[in-house]
């Protein structure tokens, strides 16, 4: 199991087995803090508490100082050792003292209990498998798959959800019998009784008070919290870089890091040799103004096919988000210079960066005033092709539909309606499944009736953020042995952002408070820029360099051969795409699933 995860931790490895052979812990380590003294697993003084950690506890130094004052003796500065002693103080409640991104396991020899925990937003993964041999867990799905001796069957419902959503929502995974521990959850396993208990210790919750504060006050608070969070993520024995796209989120983070660092930080960005290349220019401009040491990488058409097939097939679970490609590339670039970078992930979900939130609010308003029959008629008229893309959007806004379905269709380009034609015999029974839609419901607690911006911001924070955005960033980073830290996801920042009215966040171009905060560093025109972060010319690539990969899927891919995807449908989609119609939203998920499945089934 350990060997399967070598890329996550190339610097070191270690194992522990308890005397009664109830449990065995294994670790692969990427050394960031206390590079020499942090060998894992680590135990307390008498060897009764053992811990392994994937990730980073940002407030570990402060916690160690405090624990020392209480009489604990430390052998290293490693944050894994902090966990051990903190556990002695608080047991399971130790999570409440932690800041950072983490997935960890603590074995309590005396009580015969295993504790597994995952950070609040799910930055670090944790997979769990129950079997007659007990409980297994790992940072990567493939480690569990590899250890189980035989290739587990695919979970067809998960496959269907992937096809609809573009990612597999937790706690499910793409294979049967293995689950993810959800973000903000604790799992305890009592080895004596063989009882498992999972409970939440934190969850993202939108609950803003009535507007009673001046925008200036909220902006000042945003800056204060981000400054602290950035300072926290810079606690490290190694140099830290920044992913800089030139958009609001990453530029603000870069400005904060530059302000907090003694020497000029290194920034990294990625661009393309097709389509818009202005991102490179934007990032360069920001880097110039901030005085960073800037690095650029261009993903050219010649290299993209290789990168796509390597990255998409190496993923634990299929992921249809094309942004994994630039994140992988920029991670590769950054790793040549640093071991740790900070990124802007979470800003869109917390501070209202997606325009659809505003559209959803508008659709709710329309629904209130427009009779359903009129709305249906109007929507049909507006969807008529000659009216163009703008009016098609408007058609979506007024069409009678529950807001939850509307949301799903907007974020998934209405893929679920293509399933009857898209699915081959192996998946056909799921063509009408509502599993993807149903998976949204548990994250809408606290909301009822007509859902608005608040509900969907919360939903994105709990559904899309962990299983698409953070999954993508963690895997792309780890494939390059690069750690990516996300200051926007500090709980203090998140709790604050979630206690500010959606209308405040969404005013102007959205992310109002971040734009305002950025004005502290840059003149007004910059902060007005719209979202740009690492956009991908996926449609372009699918007509050019990726065409051979698609053709291979058509003729030799497991996805078609085993009847998951209908061959004729795929061919027709490819033809239409080649003919100029944009079918990226269908072709990319199929390609991503195909490449992943070929490797999983051992056909590549």
Partner 1 sequence: MAGPLCGALVTTWARPRVLVITPDFPPVKGGIQILSHRIASSFRMLEPTVVTVDHPAAEAFDRMQTFEIVRVRRQPGRRAFTTLALNAGATRVALRDRPDVVLSTHIVVSPTAALLRRQLGIPFVQYVYAKEIGAKPQLARFALTRADRVVSISRYTTELAIAAGAPADRIALISPGVDAPAVTRTDRPLDGPPTVLTISRLEDRYKGHDVMLRALPLVRAEVPDVRWHVIGDGPLRQTLEDRAQALGLGDSVQFLGRVSDEARDEELARANAFCMVSRLPAGRFAGEGFGIVYLEANAHGVPVVAGAVGGATDAVVHGETGLLVDPQDHVAVADALVALLRDRDLAERLARAGRARVEGFTWEAAGGLVEAELLRVLT
User: What are the residues binding partner 1 (CB under 8 A)?
Assistant: 59, 62-63, 66, 89-91, 93, 96-97, 199-203, 205, 207-210, 212-213, 216-217, 219-221, 223-225, 228, 446, 491, 495-496, 499
Shortest CA distance to 82 belongs to which of 102, 70, 65? 65
Q: CB count, 10 Å around CB of 435?
A: 16
Least distance from partner 1 to the Cβ atom of residue 504, Å: 13
CA torsion 340→341→347→348, rounded to 10°? -110
Cβ proximity to partner 1, 330 vs 493, nearer residue? 493
Identify how many contiguous H helices and E strands the chain contains and give both numbers: 27, 16
Q: Is there a contact between 542 and 573 (Cβ–Cβ < 8 Å)?
A: no
Q: Which class for 21: exposed (0-12), middle (13-18), buried (19 or more C-beta within 10 A)? A: exposed
Least distance from partner 1 to the Cβ atom of residue 502, Å: 13
Least distance from partner 1 to the Cβ atom of residue 450, Å: 19
Least distance from partner 1 to the Cβ atom of residue 206, Å: 9
> Which single residue is written with the structure tokens 């008498």?
46
Enumerate the β-bridge partners of residue 457. Answer: none
Cβ proximity to partner 1, 213 vs 551, nearer residue? 213
Q: At what angle do helices 584-600 and 156-165 cross, to 10 degrees?
A: 150
Cβ proximity to partner 1, 405 vs 495, nearer residue? 495
Least distance from partner 1 to the Cβ atom of residue 210, Å: 5
Cβ proximity to partner 1, 205 vs 393, nearer residue? 205
Cβ proximity to partner 1, 74 vs 202, nearer residue? 202
Least distance from partner 1 to the Cβ atom of residue 524, Å: 18
Segments of 491-547 assigned E as strands: none
Cβ proximity to partner 1, 82 vs 267, nearer residue? 82
Least distance from partner 1 to the Cβ atom of residue 128, Å: 21
In three-state form (DSSP H/G/I as H, E/B as E, the rest C), the secondary structure along 131-196 is ECCEEEEECCHHHHHHHCCCCCCECHHHHHHHHHHCCCCCCCCCECCEEECCCCEEEEEECCCCEE
Least distance from partner 1 to the Cβ atom of residue 256, Å: 14
If you write DSSP's letter for every residue of 17-83 in order, what string do you get? E-TTSS-EEEEEE---SSTTT--SSEE-TTS-EEEEEEEEETTHHHHHHHHHHTT---S---HHHHH
Shortest CA distance to 253 belongs to which of 489, 512, 59? 489
Phi, psi at 427, each rounded to 5°: -110, -5
Please give the Cα distance from 559 to 572 (Å, whole number).
16
Q: At what angle do helices 584-600 and 547-556 cross, to 10 degrees?
A: 60
Shortest CA distance to 196 belongs to which of 256, 273, 131, 257? 131
Least distance from partner 1 to the Cβ atom of residue 179, Å: 21
Cβ proximity to partner 1, 66 vs 535, nearer residue? 66
Cβ proximity to partner 1, 153 vs 216, nearer residue? 216
Cβ proximity to partner 1, 166 vs 170, nearer residue? 170
């Amino acid at each position: 199991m350990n060997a399967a995860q070598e890329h996550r931790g190339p610097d070191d490895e270690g194992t522990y087995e308890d005397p009664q052979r109830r449990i065995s812990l294994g670790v692969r380590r990427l050394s960031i803090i206390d590079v020499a003294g942090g060998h894992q697993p680590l135990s307390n003084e008498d060897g009764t508490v053992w811990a392994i950690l994937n990730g980073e506890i940002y407030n570990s130094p402060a916690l160690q100082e405090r624990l020392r004052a209480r009489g604990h003796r430390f052998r290293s500065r490693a944050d894994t050792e902090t966990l051990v002693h903190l556990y002695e103080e608080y047991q399971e409640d130790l999570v409440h003292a932690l800041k950072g991104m983490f997935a960890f396991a603590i074995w309590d020899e005396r009580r015969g209990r295993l504790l597994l925990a995952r950070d609040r937003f799910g930055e670090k993964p944790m997979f769990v498998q129950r079997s007659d041999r007990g409980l297994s867990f790992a940072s990567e799905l493939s480690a569990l798959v590899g250890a189980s001796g035989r290739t587990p069957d695919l979970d067809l419902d998960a496959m269907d959800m992937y096809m609809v959503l573009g990612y597999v929502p937790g706690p499910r995974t793409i294979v049967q019998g293995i689950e993810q521990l959800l973000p903000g959850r604790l799992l305890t396993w009592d080895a004596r009784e063989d009882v498992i208990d999972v409970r939440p210790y934190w969850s993202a919750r939108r609950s803003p008070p009535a507007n009673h504060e001046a925008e200036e006050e909220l902006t000042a608070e945003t800056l204060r919290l981000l400054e602290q969070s950035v300072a926290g993520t810079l606690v490290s024995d190694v140099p830290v870089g920044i992913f800089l796209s030139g958009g609001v989120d990453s530029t603000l983070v870069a400005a904060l890091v530059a302000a907090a660092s003694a020497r000029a930080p290194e920034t990294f960005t990625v661009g393309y040799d097709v389509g818009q290349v202005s991102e490179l220019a934007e990032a360069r401009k920001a880097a110039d103004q901030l005085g960073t040491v800037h690095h650029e990488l261009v993903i050219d058409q010649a290299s993209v096919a290789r990168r796509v097939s390597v990255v998409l097939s190496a993923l634990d679970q299929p992921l249809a988000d094309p942004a994994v490609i630039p994140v992988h590339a920029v991670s590769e670039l950054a790793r040549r210079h640093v071991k740790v970078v900070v990124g802007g992930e979470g800003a869109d979900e917390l501070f209202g960066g997606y325009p659809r939130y505003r559209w959803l609010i508008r659709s709710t308003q329309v629904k209130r005033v427009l009779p359903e029959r009129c709305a249906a008629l109007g929507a049909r008229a507006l969807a008529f092709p000659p009216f163009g893309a703008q009016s098609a959007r408007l058609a979506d806004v007024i069409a009678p539909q529950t807001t939850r379905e509307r949301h799903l269709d907007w974020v998934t380009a209405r893929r679920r309606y293509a399933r009857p034609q898209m699915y081959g015999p192996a998946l056909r029974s799921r063509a009408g499944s509502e599993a993807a839609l149903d998976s949204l419901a548990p994250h809408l607690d606290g909301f009822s009736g007509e859902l608005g911006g608040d509900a969907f911001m919360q939903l994105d924070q709990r559904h899309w953020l962990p299983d698409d955005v953070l999954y993508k960033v963690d895997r792309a980073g780890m494939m390059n042995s690069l750690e990516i830290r996300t200051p926007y996801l500090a709980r203090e920042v998140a709790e604050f952002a979630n206690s500010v009215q959606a209308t405040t966040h969404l005013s102007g171009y959205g992310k109002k408070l971040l734009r305002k905060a950025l004005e502290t560093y840059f003149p007004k025109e910059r902060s007005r820029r719209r979202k740009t972060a690492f956009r991908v010319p996926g449609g372009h690539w699918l007509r050019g360099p990726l065409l051979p990969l698609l053709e291979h899927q058509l003729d030799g891919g497991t996805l078609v051969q085993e009847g998951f995807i209908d061959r004729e449908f795929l061919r027709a989609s490819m033809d239409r795409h080649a003919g100029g119609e944009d079918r990226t939203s269908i072709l990319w998920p199929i390609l991503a699933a195909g490449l992943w499945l070929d490797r999983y089934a051992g056909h590549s």
